Amino acid sequence: MNNIIKLSFVFLFCLKVFVSCKADIGDRIDIPINKMNIAKLKQARRPRTYLLSYPRSGNTWLRYCLEFLTKRPTIWLWINGFGEKPRYDYPLGYTFDLAIDANKPCIWKVHCQAQMKAAGKFNSQKEILILIIRNFKEALIRQLGKSAIEQILTGKMTNRDYPPSVYFDNLKLYDQWNPNNRFLVYYEDLIANPKDCFEKIVSFLGEDPIYIDQFLAMYDVHKKNAIAVYGGSHTQGKYAIWHSEKISPDTRKKMDDIIAKKYPYLWETYLKERYSEEILYAKKMYKI
């Protein structure tokens, strides 16, 4: 009897450790990917759906949301410019129990075209692309710090991982994608009016919207979960302007002017009416 009791305690302890490890996203456990058969996901699920954005533009948040709202798993084939071996990042639904269905086609999280190509040749006519765009001044400064300003003002791309050019290359790719198979999400809309964004994205993906209200009822909990992936957030998903407000208005205007000159079509088509200093001041987005 004593041995049975001891074994019971051991079992409960091991179970507690397993559960706590499962919730510790810092461990980045690969077990779920193995269970889902990554080879099958990589080769058999065509056409693919890509969730593309420059880093720090809300990709992880929307990825989390879509796993809950569509029950489709998401994976990230992560590579950088430093020669590290590519690795797969497992679905967030495993860590947070989002009830994802591994039999549904996965959504590929990507930050650049190099990651899309590493997963296999993509087809811009037949495959699906969701692009998230955030104020380029916010996204670049958040990712690269002060070097983002220097790289834009001087034109010298010193960062090998995600230089500013990646932001605009992503936007170019979206512009060239089959219009019937692409969807543009502005980060600011996603945090200001999530329900409207969710309804449009879920409809675009041809999924049932039945989980939207359930998600919104626990919105703060879900947001806290997603923020935990990064270990914290400056804006806590509440503010559209934060990082760029810490630089001078003159510098921000110079950044606008350079981008408008270097990428005139992208500026006029996608960025000017959203992120020009004149528009941001008119909307009273800055505190000062």
Per residue in 133-192, pLDDT (tens digit) is 999 999 988 888 888 888 888 877 766 678 899 999 999 999 999 999 999 999 999 999
What does the pLDDT average to over 9-27?
38
Most confident of 39-48, 67-76, 87-96, 175-184: 175-184
Name the pLDDT band for 12 (thresholds 50, 70, 90): very low
- Asked whether residue 86 carries a pLDDT value surpassing 50, the answer given is yes
Quick one: fold of 29-231? Answer: Rossmann fold (3.40.50)
Instruction: Look at residue 55 in the predicted model and tell me its pLDDT.
Output: 92
Lowest-confidence segment of 58-62, 115-119, 125-129, 207-211 by average pLDDT: 115-119
What are 149-152's contacts with CB under 8 Å, separation 24+? 149/247, 149/251, 149/255, 152/255, 152/258, 152/259
Domain boundaries, the chain: 29-231
In tens, the pLDDT along 228-246 reads: 887 666 666 666 677 788 8
Q: Residue 231: phi, psi to the nearest 5?
A: 85, 10
Q: Which helix (H) or strand (E) holds 130?
A: strand 128-133
In tens, the pLDDT along 221-232 reads: 999 998 888 766
Instruction: Look at residue 151 in the predicted model and tell me its pLDDT.
Output: 86
Of 89, 93, 123, the closest CA to residue 109 belongs to 89
- Asked whether residue 83 carries a pLDDT value surpassing 60, the answer given is no
Name the pLDDT band for 30 (thresholds 50, 70, 90): very low
